[in-house]
Amino acid sequence: NFLMWFGNSTIMLMAAIMGISPDVFEASELDGCNSFQRFFYITLPQIRPILAYTLITAIIGGLQM
């Protein structure tokens, strides 16, 4: 079951990450953010709705088995 949803989840999360404007990352770099801060303060909050959807559908799919 994991491999069945792995591709779908990967595509959705990659689309969410690629949807973040590069200007935001550039501005954070100019402000002195390191990679850790960039992920936790910029990337993660912006992909949180897609991440929540992915986790919820994965849990529902797991419970249906």
Tell me if the pTM is above 0.85: no
- Output the pLDDT for position 64: 80
Give the Cα separation of 46 and 36 in Å (integer). 15
User: Dihedral of the CA atoms 37, 19, 22, 46 (nearest 10)?
Assistant: -30
Strands, E, within the chain: which ranges?
none
Mean pLDDT of 57-63: 85
Which pLDDT tens digit goes with each residue over 1-42? 566 778 888 999 999 999 999 999 999 999 999 999 999 999
